């Protein structure tokens, strides 16, 4: 979910300051609330161009707003931020207190919903009102990102990276609607695919497959089924 949100918001790096802890009563490796148990939430910072984005209780930069909206759209239902909560650069993003807790909440200082900055409420609400983007599970990635023609469906564009992961640099952003050829799925991380953007048979890099949609065959395509289901 974090990787998908980072790609959608054009965030270069997600720096996790707390997350992935043992569940209460099952271990001693604990640094956050029970929401953090078993990797269900994390406290994190967004880094763009080597700079950690900051915010105030009154406003936040576009990158933070896009990230919160994208995280909410990708399934996060618990998001907290505020100068009096964890400072001006750290955000809590995750799920409910249990697998059955689907309440959509934002909060700020003191962990109270009433203190959530208005920009946080608005950005999260925008994401919760948006249908969740498709996710690529390793078992299904082969079918969802098979070889063929695809188009970029990320509203803010999709970064073309030198390798299968956000830790690889990017100098090019493919705009929404850009068509490309998926050549192969990464054996390192099935959520990423290797692509040919120019259509010349040469490899250009990797993109996050969740933000690609198959390009429908036109009526004159040899691959299109004929009327009556004949092929």
Question: How confident is the model at residue 215, as a pLDDT?
Answer: 83
Q: Which residue has the tokens 């999709």?
A: 158
| Cβ 16 vs Cβ 42: under 8 Å | yes
From residue 125, give the alpha-carbon distance in Å to each of 45, 77, 122, 220: 20, 10, 5, 42
Return the minimum-mean-pLDDT range out of 102-106, 174-178, 215-219: 215-219
39 or 42, greater pLDDT: 42
Question: How confident is the model at residue 33, as a pLDDT?
Answer: 66
pLDDT tens for 145-166 read 578 899 988 777 888 999 888 7
Nearest to 46 by CA among 62, 75, 67: 67
Would the pLDDT of 133 be above 70?
Answer: no
83 or 208, greater pLDDT: 83
Would the pLDDT of 228 be above 70?
Answer: no
Give mean pLDDT, residues 45-50: 94
Beta bridge partners of 48: 51
Neighbours of 23 (CB within 10 A): 13
**Global pTM value:** 0.62
Q: Is residue 173 packed enough to be buried (19+ CB in 10 Å), middle (13-18) or exposed (0-12)? A: middle
pLDDT tens for 83-125 read 999 999 999 999 887 778 888 999 999 989 999 999 999 999 9
**Dihedral of the alpha carbons of 95, 76, 151, 145, in degrees to the nearest 10:** 0
Question: How confident is the model at residue 224, as a pLDDT?
Answer: 30
Would the pLDDT of 139 be above 70?
Answer: no
């Amino acid at each position: 979910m974090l990787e998908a949100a980072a790609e959608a918001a054009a965030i270069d790096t997600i720096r996790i300051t707390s997350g992935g802890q043992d569940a209460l009563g099952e271990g001693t490796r604990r640094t956050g609330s029970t929401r953090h148990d078993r990797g269900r939430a994390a406290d994190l910072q967004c880094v763009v161009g080597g700079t950690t984005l900051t915010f105030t209780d009154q406003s936040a930069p576009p990158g933070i707003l896009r990230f919160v909206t994208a995280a909410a759209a990708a399934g996060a239902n618990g998001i907290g931020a505020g100068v009096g909560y964890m400072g001006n650069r750290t955000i809590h993003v995750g799920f409910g207190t249990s697998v059955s807790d689907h309440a959509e909440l934002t909060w700020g200082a003191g962990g109270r919903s009433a203190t959530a900055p208005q920009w946080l409420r608005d950005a999260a609400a925008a994401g919760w009102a948006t249908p969740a983007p498709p996710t690529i599970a390793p078992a299904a990635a082969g079918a969802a990102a098979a070889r063929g023609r695809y188009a970029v469906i990320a509203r803010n564009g999709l970064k073309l990276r030198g390798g299968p992961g956000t830790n690889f640099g990017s100098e090019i952003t493919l705009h929404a609607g850009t068509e490309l050829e998926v050549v192969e799925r990464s054996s390192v991380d099935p959520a990423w695919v290797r692509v040919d953007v120019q259509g010349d048979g040469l490899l250009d890099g990797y993109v996050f497959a969740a933000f690609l949609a198959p390009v429908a065959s036109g009526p004159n395509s040899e691959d299109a089924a004929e009327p009556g289901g004949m092929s």
